[in-house]
Amino acid sequence: MKRNLTMLLIVVAAFTLVLAGCGAKDNTSAGSEPSEGGDGKKVYTVGTEATFAPFESLDDKGNIVGIDVDVLQAIADEMGFEVEWKNIGWEPVFQTVKNGEINIGGSGITITEDRQQTFDFTEPYYESQLLIVVKEDSKIKSLAELKDKKVSVQINATGHMAAKKLQGESSKNIMAYDTQPIAIQEMLNGNVDAAIGDNAVVYEYIKAHPKDKLKVIKDDAFEKEYYGFMVQKGNKELLDLLNEGLQKIKENGKLKEITGSDFK
């Protein structure tokens, strides 16, 4: 009886391990595959941080709108698939794409060598450059002058990288926030001397806040940046699909119509 009970426990334990293994496999791969819409088209989920106007923001009805939304929709129309946008925040975009919980990252994401170690990116669809934002009466005129100043940035965005390159990785003068608008607001509140952010986003903020007395500083020390849509490393099928669609909207003029840029 004791021997039979021991054998039974061994069998149950082995079966439990098999189920656990199967479950782990399912959880890893489930999110990386697109779902299927009612019309039979594949539906890819897109993660974003919708405070990055004009690339993505929320309209009065809570819908995610902007350049990234329009560009990806144009690609989807060309290639015959659908997209479902999810406003999940800047940092979670990277983690969920990496884990396969989200198919595509679309949030004005700059293609960098460091990010390419972990993710795959489409060909670029937009050229950008960082700007410095200060109060109208500020005497700051260049990036070099921020070496020992307090600077606000969006966390882990390229402005954050530029600030760390200037001041050092462990600088206590760099204040990183969840969104670019908050970073600019902190500068207006007097908590930092300057903010660093992408040009289109900075100009959109100024356009939306005409009463804020702001000054923009351009500096050639900032390198050109290029935005791309991000997918899980090794997802060649989706990457090729996006790149083919992107090439088509470059050729037919749709990309220029959406972005207002001649970038090719």
C-alpha triplet 149, 181, 127: angle, nearest 5°:
90
Cα–Cα distance, 212 to 138 (Å, whole number): 13
pTM of the entire structure?
A: 0.80
Q: How many helices (H) and strands (E) does the chain have?
A: 9, 15
Q: Which domains does the chain have, with CATH numbers?
A: 30-125+228-259 (3.40.190.10), 129-224 (3.40.190.10)
Q: What is the pLDDT of residues 190-248, one digit of tens each?
A: 999 999 999 999 999 999 999 999 999 999 999 999 999 999 999 999 999 999 999 99
98, HSE (Cβ side, Cα atoms, 13 Å): 9
pLDDT at 115 over 60: yes
Q: Mean pLDDT score of the chain, rounded to an integer?
A: 89
| Tokens of residue 230, six digits | 């991000």
Largest CA distance in the chain: 88
Cα–Cα distance, 192 to 184 (Å, whole number): 9
Mean pLDDT confidence for 18-31: 39
Of the candidates 113, 131, 157, 109, which has an alpha carbon nearest to the alpha carbon of residue 222?
131
Question: Residue written as tokens 């500020």?
Answer: 138
Of the candidates 93, 100, 94, 102, which has an alpha carbon nearest to the alpha carbon of residue 118?
94
Q: What is the pLDDT of residues 32-79, one digit of tens each?
A: 688 887 778 999 999 999 999 999 999 999 999 999 999 999 999 999
What does the pLDDT read at residue 98? Answer: 97
SS3 for 9-76 is: HHHHHHHHHHHHHHHHHHHHHHHHCCEECCCCCEEEEEEECCEECCCEEECCCCCEECHHHHHHHHHH
> Which letter does DSSP use for residue 252 in this model?
S
Of the candidates 13, 238, 247, 230, which has an alpha carbon nearest to the alpha carbon of residue 105?
230
